[in-house]
Amino acid sequence: MLSWPEHPPVVIRPRWAAQPSAHRWAMISAGGAAVLLIPWCVVLYCTLPQTVRVGHWPLLWLGLDTAEAISAAVTLLLLLRRSPTAALSAAVGAGLLFADGVFDVGTSLSSGGFTASLLMAICLEFPLGAGALWYAARMLRQRTADEVPPRSRYPRPGRTRPRPLGQASHV
């Protein structure tokens, strides 16, 4: 004899369809960029000239270092205000620090000062960037854990919900 299950059936939507529209578009954009940038990097490597003369070289470095300083100041201000968005400005600062270290070392190969650039990248820019990225990831993970309900609230087919202690299962 057929009987009604203990719990009503759960409608399971495919993972893609369960995502909000904005999230799906972000996934498409990130995936497309990741895939398309690989061949673009190969094209750039094969076609860019070995040397380039830049007219406003000091201004470019001033802009990058100023962006790093602004990012650090914004992160400090947000931390003092105990704002959860400090994680985002810390992540931006980490990206700027990593870029600064890579470009410092890369541009010093032909212009001298390689040892100083490498030491600065290894001892200052990369550790600060890694620390900022660690902080950002930790804060975002903590915030997500506080806001998102545990996965067990959305059971998959074939899984049973945990029973409170002392309640017998019906076999």
Q: What is the pLDDT of residues 111-144, one digit of tens each?
A: 778 999 999 999 999 999 999 999 999 998 887 7
Number of other CB atoms surrounding residue 40 within 10 Å: 10
Q: What is the pLDDT of residues 46-62, one digit of tens each?
A: 998 888 888 898 999 99
Residue 2 is classified by DSSP as -
For residue 2, pLDDT over 80 is answered with no
In 49-74, which positions are buried (b, 16+ CB within 10 angstroms) versus exposed (e)?
eeeeeeeeeeeeeeebeebbeebbeb
For residue 103, pLDDT over 90 is answered with yes
Please give the residue that has the higher pLDDT: either 12 or 103: 103
CA 113 to chain centre: 32
Burial of 78 by CB count in 10 Å (0-12 exposed, 13-18 middle, 19+ buried)?
middle
For residue 148, pLDDT over 70 is answered with no
Please give the residue that has the higher pLDDT: either 144 or 85: 85
Helix intervals (H) in 6-153: 15-18, 21-47, 57-80, 86-111, 114-120, 126-147
Tell me the mean pLDDT in the region 156-168. Answer: 57
Distances, alpha carbon 93 to alpha carbons 26, 63, 73, 116, 129, in Å: 22, 14, 10, 22, 7
Contacts of 163 (CB under 8 A, 6+ apart): 169
For residue 90, pLDDT over 60 is answered with yes
pLDDT band, residue 25 (cuts 50/70/90): confident
Residue 66 tokens, joined? 């100023």
Using alpha carbons only, give the angle 78, 82, 88 rounded to the nearest 5 degrees: 50
Residue 171 tokens, joined? 């076999």
Q: Where are the domains of the chain?
A: 57-148
Q: Determine the pLDDT at residue 19.
A: 73
